[in-house]
Amino acid sequence: MSMIETGVPVEHFDRGPRSKGELAAAVAAAIPPGSYVNLGIGQPTTVADFLAPESGVVLHSENGMLNLGPAARPDQVDPDLINAGKIPVTELPGASYFHHADSFAMMRGGHLDVCVLGAFQVSERGDLANWHTGAPEAIPAVGGAMDLAIGAKSVLVMMGLFAKDGSAKLVPRCSYPLTGVGCVDRIYTDYATVMISRDGAVVTETFGATVAELQARVAVTLRAPSQASGEK
Amino acid sequence: MRTLITDDADAAVAGIADGSTILIGGFGMAGMPVILIDALIRQGAGGLTVVNNNAGNGNTGLAALLAAGRVRKMICSFPRQSDSYVFDGLYRAGKIELELVPQGNLAERMRAAGAGIGAFYSPTGVGTPLAEGKEQRTIEGRDYLLEYPIKGDVALIGASVADRMGNLVYRKTARNFGPVMATAAALTIAEVHRVVEIGEIDPEVVVTPGIFVDRILDLGRDDPAQGVRG
């Protein structure tokens, strides 16, 4: 990326933070053409809307499908064809179906190129917390999040940089229970794109704020690309 | 032993004992063997441990089995859903035990049981609360957790078409856990939309060979869809 070459983060402070659509488009643009990709449930699913058909990206659904198509229209609904979020979907030409052990072998075995996940918190060394708030009354549910987090070759997180209470979600250490250790490669947020390097968090771009303004609200040291020795 | 084929759901589930571990196929409602579950409720076995990806949706299938008070323990990856109110109520009332297993470990633990593997090391869950109590080992620089097989006394699964040898073909994402569960239980019972004669399924497309299937419930439907269209 050009930011790495120049060594200076690109600060877009003359505008607001990225909208959810802009964020999904940015993640889509970061996915290399021809990748096998799993999009997590919720906001990550919207990345599919911004993937150009000519990119040749193949979507994986952990309930046993490759080359997942768009959500089904009412007249296309088939109860045997759903995505990981249990939403009726469609198949694209070249799709394949397989059982759950094979589906997770694709993750754990390092065959899946990219996964995009939501997060409650990410630490500066790439620890991910996205499955459980740890609240005593909450019923825990993990699904395939832990398998995806440690299995995909590249793990991209999509989240707001700040929680509703204003606290930063990029943290020195996650306070929520972990999903995976040191597994996150990049974080796409409304206010900034952050790379997790061997040296910690590196801001490559900001939106609606300067790096200095974000640094005032985040306890993690935000480094410039020139201060990092590369992706971990 | 050769596969028994019946159109009587009660005969299909006969003999299931109290306290059994039952592997139930399906991801949400896709591939869930609802007719077999209803027959199991009538059959009456209780104190069950049930393995499924989820913990029931709405009021039918697995949720109905839970509501009937037959399940002592759920082993699953994702119990909490928008329509999992039956499980939620039992869990909050302390009436059901939950063993939460990451989805890939759940599938692989059953695969191991079916393949005669004693245990295996998985990287999933290292450094998380789900690693608690598990042996951790570093192999070629990477950390893994020791995971034990999950073996079923019974598997109840859904498939699309069977032949009279017990060979199964599934449909789309309703396949999910079915093929793995079929291998992992002492008694595997499949409900299928229709049964065809020997030779009518191309041997190249068989997904679960009949050796893994003990009983088949023939629903005698023309529609190949496994799920209930609604």
Alpha-carbon distances, residue B145 vs A179, B134, B138, B142 (angstroms): 14, 6, 9, 10
Do the domain assignments include residue A10? no
Percentage of chain A lying above the pLDDT 90 cut: 90
The pLDDT profile of chain B, 230 residues, written as one tens digit per residue, is: 899 999 999 999 999 999 999 999 999 899 999 999 999 999 999 999 999 999 999 999 999 999 999 999 999 999 988 899 999 999 999 999 999 999 999 999 999 999 999 999 999 999 999 999 999 999 999 999 999 999 999 999 999 999 999 999 999 999 999 999 999 999 999 999 999 999 999 999 999 999 999 999 999 987 766 554 43
Do the domain assignments include residue A223? no
* Chain A residues whose beta carbon lies within 8 Å of the beta carbon of residue B221: none
pLDDT tens digit string along A164-210?
Answer: 999 999 999 999 999 999 999 999 999 999 999 999 999 999 999 99
Helices (H), chain A: 2-6, 20-30, 100-108, 145-151, 211-215
Residue A149 carries which side chain, given as an amino acid letter? Answer: A
CATH number assigned to the domain with residue range B4-218, chosen from the 4 options 3.20.20.70, 3.40.50.2300, 3.40.1080.10, 3.40.50.620: 3.40.1080.10
Query: How far does B139 lie from chain A, in Å, by closest CA?
Result: 15
Residue A114 carries which side chain, given as an amino acid letter? Answer: V
Q: Do B124 and A151 touch (CB under 8 A)?
A: yes
pLDDT at A205: 97
pLDDT tens digit string along A121-161?
Answer: 999 999 999 999 888 888 999 999 999 999 999 999 999 99
Do the domain assignments include residue A128? yes
Overall size of chain B counted in residues: 230
Query: Where do the structural domains in chain B lie, given as residue ranges?
Result: 4-218
Q: Do A181 and B170 touch (CB under 8 A)?
A: no
Is the per-residue pLDDT at A4 higher than 70?
no
* Chain A residues whose beta carbon lies within 8 Å of the beta carbon of residue B227: 78-80
Q: Do A80 and B173 touch (CB under 8 A)?
A: yes
CB contacts under 8 A, B 93-112 vs A, are 98, 100-108, 110-111
Give the tokens for residue A14. 């003359």
Do the domain assignments include residue A207? no
Query: How far does B16 lie from chain A, in Å, by closest CA?
Result: 26
Do the domain assignments include residue A175? yes
Do the domain assignments include residue A23? yes
Please state the domain count of chain A. 1
Spell out which chain A residues touch chain B, with contact meaning CB-CB distance below 8 angstroms. 61-65, 78-83, 86, 91, 97-101, 103-104, 107-108, 127, 132, 137-147, 150-151, 177-181
Q: Do B172 and A81 touch (CB under 8 A)?
A: yes
Give the tokens for residue B30. 């896709």
DSSP calls for B114-180: HHT---EEE-TTTTSGGGTT--EEEETTEEEEEE----EEEEEEEEEEEETT--EE--GGG-TTHHH
Query: How far does A6 lie from chain B, in Å, by closest CA?
Result: 34
Q: Read off the CATH number of the domain in which A36 is found.
A: 3.40.1080.10
Do the domain assignments include residue A85? no
Give me the residue from A104, A179, A181 closest to B104, CB to CB: A104
CA distance B49 to B26: 16
Helices A100-108 and B103-115, interaxial angle, to 10°? 120
A46-54: long-range contacts at Cβ-Cβ below 8 A with a sequence spacing of 24 or more?
A: A46/A20, A46/A21, A47/A116, A47/A158, A49/A24, A50/A21, A50/A24, A50/A25
| ipTM exceeding cut-off 0.90 for this assembly | yes
| Catalytic (active-site) positions of A | 62
Query: How far does A196 lie from chain B, in Å, by closest CA?
Result: 19
CA distance B100 to A122: 23
Where in the sequence is the domain holding A42, given as residue range(s)? 18-47+111-190
Give the tokens for residue A99. 């059982």
pLDDT confidence tier of residue A232, bands split at 50, 70 and 90? confident
Do the domain assignments include residue A212? no
